[in-house]
Amino acid sequence: MNDETEISGDYSFIARWIDGVTTVSTFGGRWDSWSYSYGGATGILGHLPTNDRGKGNIGVTYHNVGMHNGRVIDLKITVTDWEKGANNYGYIFYTTGAIAHIQQSYRYVKQRWEFIDAQTGQPVKLSGYMTITDIDFHQGVTFDKNTVPHLGTIYVTEDSNISVKKESDGALTVYDPFRVNADPSDLWAQFTFLYRDTSFVEFDWNLKNLPSHMQIGEPNIHARGGEFFGFTGKKLARTATIEPEKYIQSDDGLVTSSVLESLHDSFSYLLIHKVPDELDEFYYRSYEIRDDLPAGLEVMNYRIVDQEGRDVSLYFDDYSTKNKIHLVAKPAVLKTARFYDTDYRIEVEVRVIDAKELEKLIDSDHVLFRNVVRVSVDDKPKVSEEVTTQLFRRKIVVDHIDKQTEELLRKVEEHKFDGESYLYEPFTDLEDEEGNRYRSRVTHSGVVNGRDLSFVIPYHIPILEVNVDSIQIDTSKAEKDGGLPTQLTLTKEAEYEEDLSNLRFMVEVVEESTDRVVYEKELTLSDEADVLELLLPTDAVEKVEKIDYLVTIKVVDNPDNNKFVTDTKDLATHGYTATEKVLTINDLENGVVDYTAVARTLRLREKDAVQEFNESIRFDFDPMIRSKTGYGFAIDLAPTFSSQVHDTVESFDLQVKVPQELVDSQIHEVFVAREKEVIIPLDQTWALARAGDSRTDSSFTYEFPEMRVERLTGNLFTENQVSRTNRELLDGGRNFYLPIWLDLGRYDVTLESNDVGKNHIQLAMTKSIDVFAYMYATMDSATKEFDELLLTPVFPETTVPNGWSDEEIAWLKGG
């Protein structure tokens, strides 16, 4: 080895005790611990064998002694064999605070140093080095034959006292043959060895080369001394620049490739560069770290620490910007030992600038961020392996379809990066061939997350179908302020009611003969009325008139272009004004009055013809009565009102108008007289309402009030007048009695009613009373052959009236 010798940076790993990071545990048998201070150690762990059964089963594990390819490495040391150098066993020690080994009175202690992945527990193959110090007094290191193939160059100084020899079993021994006394800092008593691509190094620390005349003394187990095996990270030659490492921090640890789940997520790079421990003469003249971020990324935060997590930013001048990390070691720091034997770790948190910038970087379906870190030592650069991060851009397809027919109305295709939010809402300009607008309340929103997306937005056309299914018009009087009671029965069928709130329509009724709008009402779907109650005006019509109408439904306002359907267009019907018929003797046919008029019309939308429903009045009537004076006869009537609309009549309120001269003076004062007539209400003596499927009949019987006849005088009394006489009264029945003394001739009496039914029908039926003879005939009567009794004058001077009794004669003479 000379001044030009340079050791490759590929051999970069060395197990180290890292303050605040490294810990140690023991396994197999009993281990004692003590304080200890030598060679940087702060404590010591010792095992005292009592037999050889512990071989291969005892040892220590140093946890977290360094990193290799982003993985934390543990060092597991297993004591595999030993040979006592005296009669008694001595301690086998391992230190804490530094990694070192001490053995008491052993010819050799063989040990296997394994490199273990701290996370998985599996062996890790790596390449590294160690510089063994203080080789003196015949001490030596014998590398096992299984380790020798993995050894690289062994470096010693030109003035070294160290020798190397091959053993017969293939092992290799490096030792001091001269029994010199060296200080741990003497370079001539040190050697640096390299190992490559191995997960272990197995060797023994020995005094095998001790001359035969020299003996190993008995161990002092109360002391902590012995044969000290120590090593350092300072190579005996200059180290070529070690290749920096770059990783991406993830939930799975440190990786070299990753996929960014969201363009809004930040992620972190970890830049690692191992600066080995160096002899003073090999200190650097310059040192810088540079990481130029790929396009599309920018720095959010960063920090530089050592392997113990301490901030070492003061070691550097910082020239970093938003898109690069650039740290240059300060010249003064490079001249000090503190800069060396350090793993510099730069944690850089980065983020994507924005989606717009990424569009320029798209490669097929993703953006690939490629990144390396560069380290330059004494102007000799070294570049890390490339790390990559992918951010995928996903295809999003949105099909806008007709829900009913599945017809594609519009297709939208676009691309978004993972993590981008999306919101797809229905279009408001889609219409069918008739101009009806499609509607939808379906939206799709979320965040793109790792896959292409396909959505369907189904559309419907809100439909409102409104019809007048029936038009019912009742007959009524033609009055200026009146009208025909009408019911319009609506049917409303809606699809997607929530979309129809703005649609307004009108129901309109037109009087066909005049083209006059006689009714209109504006409605919406939300109006609850399914039956419209209205009056069709009669201000311009007469009684007994048929009026033709046209009913139409039409749209008033449809701002959303919803579909509106109706069959109610000029739907024809008609109604009638009341006949206001007054039934008279002229309506009598064969002794019967039978009058019919239309009470209601009904037009059904699905039928062409207008149905008419009638009401009628029927009764028997005798227009002529022949009677002698003083006799009574019945004045009665039995009308029946029939209605196909199932109306009923509570009463006809019949009354009879008779000339005053026909009314007995006693009862005359009971009834109302009007001009030359007396109005006598008839009694309703019977009533019956019968309802059938097709009609309802209201039947009545009306009769003359009950009469009482005074026996001696023939005076008439009503039921309310009987208290006015003390004489005997006879039951006169329900008869109308003519006065005894009444001129012969024809007299008319009229039966009148109130108006009934929708046609306001009245009765004014006249009976003619033919008074053709007297109850008492006089001598000069012209109707003696019909008169009931002949009256002959009897004078007081008459001697003996024929057939009289004595009492009657006495009465005649005033006795």
d(Cα 476, Cα 600) in Å, to the nearest integer? 9
User: Distance between terminal CA atoms of the chain?
Assistant: 198
d(Cα 22, Cα 9) in Å, to the nearest integer? 24
Superfamily of the domain at 465-576: C2 domain (2.60.40.150)
d(Cα 733, Cα 99) in Å, to the nearest integer? 146
The sign of the torsion formed by the CA atoms of 77, 81, 84, 90 equals positive
Residue 562, token pair as written in the block: 């919803």
d(Cα 380, Cα 401) in Å, to the nearest integer? 65
User: DSSP letter at 461?
Assistant: -
d(Cα 813, Cα 298) in Å, to the nearest integer? 157
d(Cα 549, Cα 572) in Å, to the nearest integer? 6
pLDDT for 424-460, tens place per residue? 999 999 999 999 999 999 999 999 999 999 999 999 9
Q: Which helix (H) or strand (E) holds 810?
A: helix 806-812
Residue 532, token pair as written in the block: 């419209």
Distance set, CA 129 to CA 9, 10, 126, 173, 382 (Å): 10, 10, 10, 17, 20
For 259, what's the count of Cα atoms within 13 Å in the CB-facing half-sphere? 11
CATH code, 241-461: 2.60.40.740
Vertex 666, ends 663 and 670: CA angle to 5°? 80
Distance set, CA 520 to CA 490, 534, 535, 547, 590 (Å): 14, 10, 11, 17, 49
Give the SS3 label for residue 348.
Answer: strand
Pairing of strands 163-166, 238-239: unpaired
Strand partners for 248: 255, 269
What is the mean predicted confidence (pLDDT) over 107-123? 97
Q: Is the pLDDT of residue 815 over 60?
A: no
What is the mean predicted confidence (pLDDT) over 753-758? 97
Q: Is the pLDDT of residue 82 over 60?
A: yes
Provide DSSP, 65-122: EEEETTEEEEEEEEEEEEEESSSS---EEEEESS--EEESSEEEEEEEEEEEETTT--
Per-residue pLDDT band for 812 (boundaries 50, 70, 90) equals: low
Per-residue pLDDT band for 799 (boundaries 50, 70, 90) equals: low
pLDDT number for residue 381: 95
Which residue type occupies 576?
A: Y
Which residue type occupies 7?
A: I
What is the mean predicted confidence (pLDDT) over 298-308? 96
For residues 415 and 437, the answer to whether their CB atoms sit within 8 Å is no
Per-residue pLDDT band for 596 (boundaries 50, 70, 90) equals: very high
d(Cα 670, Cα 76) in Å, to the nearest integer? 139
Give the SS3 label for residue 368.
Answer: strand
Pairing of strands 776-777, 789-790: parallel
With helix as H, strand as E and coil as C, how does 677-688 read?
A: EEEEECEEEEEE
Closest CA to 536 of 499, 508, 505: 508
What is the mean predicted confidence (pLDDT) over 493-505? 93
Distance set, CA 611 to CA 31, 534, 552, 554, 604 (Å): 116, 20, 19, 25, 8
Reading phi first (left if > 0) and then psi (alpha if -120 to 50, else beta), residue 618 is in beta
Provide DSSP, 13-79: B-----TTT-EEEEESS--EEEE--STT--EEEEE--SSSTTTTTEEEEEEEEEEETTEEEEEEEEE
pLDDT number for residue 712: 80
Q: Is the pLDDT of residue 212 over 90?
A: no
Tokens 């953006």 — which residue? 367
What is the mean predicted confidence (pLDDT) over 562-568? 96
What is the mean predicted confidence (pLDDT) over 243-272? 94
pLDDT number for residue 798: 65
Helices first, then strands: H and E counts in the chain: 4, 63
For residues 612 and 601, the answer to whether their CB atoms sit within 8 Å is yes
d(Cα 390, Cα 94) in Å, to the nearest integer? 47
User: DSSP letter at 340?
Assistant: S
With helix as H, strand as E and coil as C, how does 686-738 read?
A: EEEEEECCCCEEEEEEEECCCEEEECCCCCEEEHHHHHHCCCCEEEEECCEEC
Burial of 592 (0-12, 13-18, 19+ CB in 10 A): exposed
For residues 802 and 793, the answer to whether their CB atoms sit within 8 Å is no
Q: Work out the mean pLDDT of the chain and round it to a whole number.
A: 94
Q: Is the pLDDT of residue 32 over 90?
A: yes
pLDDT number for residue 754: 97
pLDDT number for residue 588: 97
Q: 660-691: b or e for each residue (b if 16 or more CB lie within 10 Å)? A: eebbbebbeebbeeeeebbebebeeeeeeeee
Residue 470, token pair as written in the block: 């029936």
Spatial neighbors of 180 by CB under 8 A, at least 6 apart, are 136, 137, 161, 189
For 17, what's the count of Cα atoms within 13 Å in the CB-facing half-sphere? 19
d(Cα 491, Cα 606) in Å, to the nearest integer? 13
pTM of the prediction?
0.64
For residues 142 and 193, the answer to whether their CB atoms sit within 8 Å is no
d(Cα 245, Cα 69) in Å, to the nearest integer? 7
Strand partners for 655: 681, 752
What is the mean predicted confidence (pLDDT) over 80-103? 96
For residues 667 and 648, the answer to whether their CB atoms sit within 8 Å is no
Closest CA to 772 of 781, 763, 764, 780: 781
What is the mean predicted confidence (pLDDT) over 483-509? 95
Provide DSSP, 200-223: EEEEEEE-TT--TT--PPPP-TTS
d(Cα 36, Cα 44) in Å, to the nearest integer? 6
Reading phi first (left if > 0) and then psi (alpha if -120 to 50, else beta), residue 785 is in alpha
At residue 612, φ and ψ (nearest 5 deg) are: -120, 135
Residue 121, token pair as written in the block: 């527990």
pLDDT number for residue 800: 62
Give the SS3 label for residue 272.
Answer: strand
d(Cα 492, Cα 464) in Å, to the nearest integer? 7
Cα radius of gyration rounded to whole Å, the chain: 66
Residue 153, token pair as written in the block: 């160059």
Q: Using a pLDDT cut of 70, give the percent of the chain over it.
A: 98
What is the mean predicted confidence (pLDDT) over 745-754? 97
With helix as H, strand as E and coil as C, how does 381-427 read?
A: EEECCCEEEEEEEEEEEEEEEECCCCCEEEEEEEEEECCCEEEECCC
At residue 414, φ and ψ (nearest 5 deg) are: -155, 175
Q: Is the pLDDT of residue 669 over 80?
A: no
d(Cα 203, Cα 192) in Å, to the nearest integer? 15
CB atoms < 10 A from the CB of 603, how many?
22
d(Cα 149, Cα 202) in Å, to the nearest integer? 12
Torsion of CA 799, 804, 808, 813, to 10 degrees: -10
